[in-house]
Amino acid sequence: MRRSSLHPAFLACAGVIFSVLGLAMPSASVAQTQIEEPQIPFVTLRNRTGQQNPGQYYGDERSDLKAGWCRVKSLDVSVLGALAEAAPGFIREEFLSIDRVTETGDSVVFDALQQTVGDDTAVIYVHGFNISFEKGCRRALLLRQNAGLNGRLLWFSWPSDGTLTNYMRDESDMYWSVPDLAEVILEMERRFGPDKVSVVGHSLGARGLVLALYEVANRRPDIRLGEVVLLAPDMDFQFFERLLPRVRPVASNLTIYVTQGDRPLALSEQLHGYPRLGEAGNDVSRLDNVEVIDISDLSVRDLTGHLYHIYNATLGTDLRQLLNEAKAADARENLTPAGPNLWRLGEAQPD
């Protein structure tokens, strides 16, 4: 699919800025060139829609496990210069779209991933609530870029509706997806070996990941994964505390990122009646052998305060040190101790 113009959301924002500065907006036609990005390997439980639009190749209904690659392209907005660079991340994300989907067997995807990972560590990423297939592929690419995971990231796409008002249905679909996620983790560990598979979950996907790890630990208590990373986890804090003794032993290290001002988690707390694991302020000293990173001091350029894993470069640097070098919190940059197992992440200082 080829877009013929810049996304309307960006044009509206850019138009206001150019108007304030008294400049003329460049015509949309000068920025139609698309820049190809590497493909994202995925496994998904979504249904095929039969749509020709690659971004709508998969829908939001439950289905059997499928695998393949989604190719993401970006519109070339270099003609806008510093304005494009200054645009918030959630606007720049709209420059991205799926250009092609290639479906194949899951063993083919796993084989290819083994080739690109080599002796390194593979990373499974589980997305959160309100994520369509296209949005999920874009976000997987952004996480891969921010955390420096080129050639190593496998995206697990469960059948979220991609609709803001369908939280309860998404919650049900996430629970339904847990057994398949556990199977993928087990198969990846079988292929790559002990300590060679790390897992990352965001928001509601982090809750599903914890439940999948609980099942993995029940079935294979001797299994040994690499890093387990929970980003803005939308999960009952006390529920996680109860599952932790079973989940923690299967991971080399378990890291949780929390913050204040996360609007989706605040709404989830109101809905469920209990604090969320990803909210700052919980007594995390009760979580044995877990490293908690409070990112409340960072400047997060999105409207929700929930997407810092893809929009903040300082956090990306922290994830790089964690997922690429397996550094503990006390050995990473920009982290200040704030408790027995709590650190605050500050903005990186310019050289």
Any domain includes 309:
yes
Please give the pLDDT value at position 7: 43
Any domain includes 6:
no
d(CA 177, CA 261): 29
Q: Where are the alpha helices (DSSP H) in the chain?
A: 8-21, 82-86, 89-92, 106-117, 133-147, 167-192, 204-219, 237-247, 263-272, 308-311, 313-325
Contact 136, 160 (CB under 8 A): yes
Task: For residue 12, count CB atoms less than 10 angstroms from its CB and return exposed for 0-12, middle for 13-18, buried for 19 or more.
Answer: exposed
Q: State the CB neighbour count (10 A cutoff) for residue 348.
A: 14
Please give the pLDDT value at position 25: 33
Contact 38, 139 (CB under 8 A): no
Any domain includes 10:
no
Any domain includes 351:
no
Question: Which CATH number characterizes residue 317's domain?
Answer: 3.40.50.1820
Please give the pLDDT value at position 303: 73
CA distance readout (Å), 126 to 122, 140, 145, 220, 236: 13, 9, 16, 21, 18
Per-residue pLDDT of the chain (351 residues; tens, 9 = 90+): 333 334 444 444 444 333 333 333 333 322 333 334 469 999 999 999 999 999 999 999 999 999 999 999 876 544 444 544 444 445 566 678 899 999 999 999 999 999 999 999 999 999 999 999 999 999 999 999 999 999 999 999 999 999 999 999 999 999 999 999 999 999 999 999 999 999 999 999 999 999 999 999 999 999 999 999 999 999 999 999 999 999 999 999 999 999 998 999 999 999 999 999 999 999 999 999 999 999 999 987 677 888 889 889 999 999 999 999 999 999 999 999 999 999 999 987 766
Please give the pLDDT value at position 307: 86
**Considering its fold, how many domains does the chain have in total?**
1
Q: State the CB neighbour count (10 A cutoff) for residue 72.
A: 22
Any domain includes 122:
yes
Please give the pLDDT value at position 3: 37
Please give the pLDDT value at position 301: 64
Any domain includes 125:
yes
Can you give the residue range of the structural domain that contains 118? 32-345
User: Concatenated DSSP letters for 174-238?
Assistant: HHHHHHHHHHHHHHHHHHH-TT-EEEEEETHHHHHHHHHHHHHHHH-TT--EEEEEEES--SBHH
User: Which uninterrupted H or E stretch holds 256?
Assistant: strand 251-258
Any domain includes 171:
yes
Any domain includes 260:
yes
Query: Closest Cα partner for 289 from 230, 244, 339?
Result: 244
For strand 251-258 and strand 122-126, is the pairing parallel, antiparallel, or unpaired?
A: unpaired
